[in-house]
A and B are shown apart, each in its own frame.
Chain A
Amino acid sequence: MSDSSPRVVITGVGVASPLGVGRQAFAEGLTSGRNAIQDLDGRLSLVGPGAGALVDVSRRDYRNYFDTRLLRLSTMTRQTTLGCIACGTLLEDAGCPPNGEVYPDRGAYLGSFIVPPDFAKQARFAALMSHRPENQERGYVIDDSRLEEALKVASAFDFLRALPNMPSAHLSIQAGYQGPACTYLGSDSSGLQSVGMAVGAIRSGLAVAMIAGGAFCPFQEVHLAWQQVRGLWAQRAAESSPIRPYGLGRSGTLPGEGGALFLLEEREHALSRGATILAEVTGFSQRFAAPGSDDEVAVRADALSMAIDQERPDWLAPSGLGHPDLDELEARAYEDALGSELSSAGLVNAVPQLGFSGPAAGPMQLAAALLVARGEARIAGLDVEADPDCASLAAAGGRDGRTGAGSVVLASSFSMDGVHAAVALRVEA
């Protein structure tokens, strides 16, 4: 973009996290050091790691965050709901709560993931699938007479809930925003991708303000089991610190649900409405490298270098999953991109407290880092012995950076499927 492109600032943070709902509760939860990972029970304990972090908000409290007459719960998956809760806190935080008006020049981008919304319903559908001739040839034995019964079980709303664009469609309706709106999918980096694409939308003049971030609920059997097979989940769920980013003995991460959103605005628009500017988005990049390819580290490093663009980062918010291979690739990429500047930057990693929320994890890390860089929160590092291969991103007891106006944050999402994204911010007073 040319230098005349609008500067883009952050004027609000909205969070629905296992540590609390809303910017202040999230900051307090981070600072408290509380670990939200808990044992799961019921069906969720049958597949996956048996532990994770849940957002504690009851159904009757939804009305505190969004208009339950406008948005029908019957059309919302858990991840859509988490997005709308985060959005409610975001719009309050940014000083522009929904007021029944529509705003043609504001939009909403959200990173999420397709997961069948209801396992039992999907099971019934799966049974139906066996009516395909090729499946019958394989000897499936589902009773034909049950077809109509099964179809009735699946309501129109079940179907609607599952459409992949629904999370962002709900945000547009919730906020009354008629500008660009879509859901980015396909990888755990799609939350930060949505932030970057929203910045691009504003710089391109498509909108003066954009809601952007991620929302996801991994607590669905299909997803838990799938990630188990991919080797994402920690094997040490019984320990007090099962997620051990960059530490010796790390074995994976644990699931956490949540949503983290930002209100991005043209600087002039924010100033004209008297908004508080929290930070300016100074850089974004996204890259792809096939997993296992020779240039995996180089491509990740390139994403970081493009986003930070010669600035000196004061805070780093990497993915930090605690995964044996991903952590090492990440540390090498940071070393290649930042060199000696790496050791002087503070580290922010909320994943051990919050679990890993897939597409929402990048925005969640970015929100945590922004609050830490602004001095609104602190995160104590884990007391785990550093892996020498990841030492540059490991810091027993934590590592602080410069806080306050002018401090620079670099956050990244590096995903298992090869899609990587990075965002850089500069904190404002």
Chain B
Amino acid sequence: MTERIAITGIGMVTAAGHGVEACWETLQKGHSCVSRVSYWNPDGMACHIAGEVPGPPKVPNRVGRYDVAGRPLSFAVYAALEALDQAAIGAEVAPLRRAVVASGGFDDQMLPMMARGADRVVPEGENSFEALEADALARAMSAPETLVEMARYSQVEIAQALAEHFEARQAITVSTACAGGSTAIGDAIGMIRRGEADVVLCLGVDSLITYEMMGGFCNLTALSTRNDEPERASRPFDKDRDGFVMGEGAAAIVLERESVAVGRGARILAEMAGFGYSADAYRLTAPHPEGTGMALAMQRAIDDAGMRPDEIDYVNAHGTSTAANDSAETTALKLVFAEHAGRLAVSGTKSMIGHLIHGAGAVGAAVAVKTLLEQQVHPTANYETPDPACDLDVVGGEPRSMAVGGVIVNAFGFGGQNASLVFRKYQQPEHGAEQISH
């Protein structure tokens, strides 16, 4: 029998607020936090709206050797420190038994650095795009201070920065795009089970409310263009959905071998019961219409948790609010849960905070833990007109108090990379239970 894995800390910063409690409170109200983009003028593109984090979170100026600057690292540090504060890991867990697994996308600082470099070599009056072409930029890029800044802010070193802070001896960065946060957690589960670590800080982060990234998603026609009603734009499973809304932020979760958590007297928030990965092996830009890859990930996660489908009560859906995702996810849920699919409570966190891309699965994980603790499911904002292609019990309007013993969190990435996570309400081990090993 595999030893259980405990969750002893969660952290979160999203458009719904700074910190888990602030986010949870906002999510319970069912109010969308989506608004017109304020970071730059969005008028030049089809989508003008996003779920921006309200003001910079309070973080230390430095973590390890790293200046905490730029939105991605600030969000990552905020969520990680909140989770670590709650977990209160002390000297009883040696650095060799600690790890950090992070998933993050692009750095919003890298391109401004380049712009700064470009500015040095493009004289006023000659500011055409052609003038910014390779030779000029190459000269700008060779300015050492620009490059050093780029290196310092590189998002790919988020795992290293947090590992330095957490004194962890393993640092891993993984990407499955929109499933990245969940993949980080799944990898951490595997590491604990294989005996490679006892405590793992898992993190998903992104801050893609940038002109170039939103422009790219606009060109994919993936973003909602409901610009006149930002708060009504993200509407998972609703018949009138027209695309997703970009969000930003981070979520972190501390996973811990149960015996270690119990041994040091930690408060265990929930059990991290299982995970499942799959690839659609189909197309880069669209999920398999029959949801086969999604279903595979969910079934694997449930099997990995050693649970029956009817032990799952709540689905924190990927629910992006795109036509293709929500219908495919519905099909996949029916494939896996059969008649129990109709009894599942389903909600979409993205309806209120937008899509955090690499951070989405980690946010789902934090929400799952709070759901198990509070025995309450947050509503899906803007669920007004049920879509026959998404005939699920979508929780709309008000939060629903209910008995929740098992939760599945779905995250499905561009390129067809899928990850599902299963969480279970924590039960104290029975006295005299059989010896367990990993």
CB–CB B169/A180 < 8 A: no
Bound-state Cα–Cα, A131 to B135, Å? 22
Bound-state Cα–Cα, A133 to B122, Å? 19
Bound-state Cα–Cα, A181 to B133, Å? 36
Contact code string A154-194 (vs B, CB < 8 Å = 1, else 0): 11101110111110111011011111111111110010010
Q: Considering residues B117, B170, B210, which has the most beta carbons from chain A within 10 angstroms of its beta carbon?
A: B170
Choose one: B40, B142, B150, B194; the contact of A131 (CB below 8 Å). B40
Contact code string A116-155 (vs B, CB < 8 Å = 1, else 0): 1001101111111111110100111111001111110111
Bound-state Cα–Cα, A88 to B427, Å? 49
A residues 264-316 touching B (CB-CB < 8 Å): 286-292, 299, 302
- Chain B residues contacting A135 (CB-CB under 8 Å) are 112, 115-116
A172 to nearest B CB, angstroms? 4
CB–CB B211/A165 < 8 A: no
CB–CB B210/A164 < 8 A: no
CB–CB B211/A128 < 8 A: yes
Choose one: A150, A173, A290, A302; the contact of B281 (CB below 8 Å). A173
- Chain B residues contacting A119 (CB-CB under 8 Å) are 134, 137-138
Q: Is A55 an interface residue (CB 8 A)?
A: no
CB–CB B194/A203 < 8 A: yes
Comparing A11-19, A223-231, A325-333, A399-407, the segment that makes contact with chain B is A223-231
A16 to nearest B CB, angstroms? 21
A58 to nearest B CB, angstroms? 23
Contact code string B40-60 (vs A, CB < 8 Å = 1, else 0): 110011000000000000000
CB–CB A177/B279 < 8 A: yes
* B interface size (C-beta, 8 A): 98
Bound-state Cα–Cα, A287 to B284, Å? 33
Choose one: A129, A132, A186, A230; the contact of B157 (CB below 8 Å). A186
Q: Is A40 an interface residue (CB 8 A)?
A: no
Comparing A28-36, A102-110, A364-372, the segment that makes contact with chain B is A102-110
Minimal Cβ-Cβ distance residue in A for B123:
A141
Contact code string A394-426 (vs B, CB < 8 Å = 1, else 0): 000000000000000000000001110000000
Bound-state Cα–Cα, A141 to B129, Å? 12
Q: Is B141 an interface residue (CB 8 A)?
A: yes
B residues 90-138 touching A (CB-CB < 8 Å): 96, 100, 102, 105-106, 110-112, 114-119, 122, 124, 127-129, 132-138
CB–CB A166/B284 < 8 A: yes
Choose one: A46, A113, A151, A166; the contact of B415 (CB below 8 Å). A166
B406 to nearest A CB, angstroms? 21
Q: Is A201 an interface residue (CB 8 A)?
A: yes
CB–CB B296/A122 < 8 A: no
CB–CB A418/B132 < 8 A: no
CB–CB A126/B111 < 8 A: yes
Minimal Cβ-Cβ distance residue in B for A186:
B173
Q: Is B414 an interface residue (CB 8 A)?
A: yes
- Chain B residues contacting A114 (CB-CB under 8 Å) are 106, 155-156
Q: Is B187 an interface residue (CB 8 A)?
A: yes
Q: Is B212 an interface residue (CB 8 A)?
A: yes
CB–CB A131/B211 < 8 A: yes
Bound-state Cα–Cα, A118 to B208, Å? 19
Q: Is B417 an interface residue (CB 8 A)?
A: yes
Choose one: A43, A180, A290; the contact of B134 (CB below 8 Å). A43
CB–CB B118/A151 < 8 A: no
Bound-state Cα–Cα, A154 to B413, Å? 22
Q: Is A206 an interface residue (CB 8 A)?
A: yes
CB–CB A104/B296 < 8 A: yes
Choose one: A107, A181, A225; the contact of B138 (CB below 8 Å). A225
- Chain A residues contacting B187 (CB-CB under 8 Å) are 197
Choose one: B135, B168, B414; the contact of A160 (CB below 8 Å). B414
Q: Considering residues A125, A155, A162, A176, which has the most beta carbons from chain B within 10 angstroms of its beta carbon?
A: A125
CB–CB B129/A113 < 8 A: no
Comparing B174-182, B232-240, B328-336, the segment that makes contact with chain A is B174-182
- Chain B residues contacting A75 (CB-CB under 8 Å) are 284
Q: Is A340 an interface residue (CB 8 A)?
A: no
Choose one: B111, B138, B160, B220; the contact of A186 (CB below 8 Å). B160
- Chain A residues contacting B242 (CB-CB under 8 Å) are none
CB–CB B212/A154 < 8 A: yes
CB–CB A132/B156 < 8 A: no
CB–CB A172/B281 < 8 A: yes
Bound-state Cα–Cα, A380 to B316, Å? 57
Known: A47-B142, A140-B119, A172-B281. A154 touches B148 (CB 8 A): no
Q: Is B164 an interface residue (CB 8 A)?
A: yes
Bound-state Cα–Cα, A197 to B196, Å? 11
CB–CB B211/A155 < 8 A: no
CB–CB A165/B413 < 8 A: yes
- Chain B residues contacting A43 (CB-CB under 8 Å) are 134-135, 138
Choose one: A116, A139, A230; the contact of B151 (CB below 8 Å). A230
Bound-state Cα–Cα, A190 to B45, Å? 36
Q: Is B24 an interface residue (CB 8 A)?
A: no
Bound-state Cα–Cα, A204 to B438, Å? 11
CB–CB A164/B169 < 8 A: no
CB–CB A108/B279 < 8 A: yes
Choose one: B100, B119, B194, B292; the contact of A200 (CB below 8 Å). B194
CB–CB A185/B175 < 8 A: yes
Contact code string B274-306 (vs A, CB < 8 Å = 1, else 0): 000111111111000000110010001000000
CB–CB B415/A165 < 8 A: yes
CB–CB B281/A124 < 8 A: no
CB–CB B124/A141 < 8 A: yes
CB–CB B115/A129 < 8 A: yes
- Chain A residues contacting B180 (CB-CB under 8 Å) are 165
CB–CB B141/A125 < 8 A: no
CB–CB B175/A164 < 8 A: yes
A3 to nearest B CB, angstroms? 11
Known: A43-B134, A178-B293. A165 touches B219 (CB 8 A): no
- Chain B residues contacting A162 (CB-CB under 8 Å) are 106, 216
List 17 interface pairs A-B (beta carbons < 8 Å), by A numbering.
A43-B138, A72-B284, A104-B296, A126-B118, A126-B137, A128-B212, A130-B115, A156-B220, A159-B219, A180-B279, A181-B277, A181-B279, A186-B156, A187-B156, A187-B173, A225-B142, A289-B169
Which of B's residues lie within 8 Å of A, judged by CB?
39-41, 44-45, 64-65, 96, 100, 102, 105-106, 110-112, 114-119, 122, 124, 127-129, 132-139, 141-142, 144, 147-148, 150-151, 155-157, 159-160, 163-164, 168-177, 180, 183, 187, 190-191, 193-196, 210-213, 215-221, 277-285, 292-293, 296, 300, 413-417, 437-438
Return the 8 tightest CB-CB contacts between A and B, nearest first: A159-B216, A169-B415, A186-B173, A147-B44, A156-B219, A172-B279, A125-B212, A180-B277
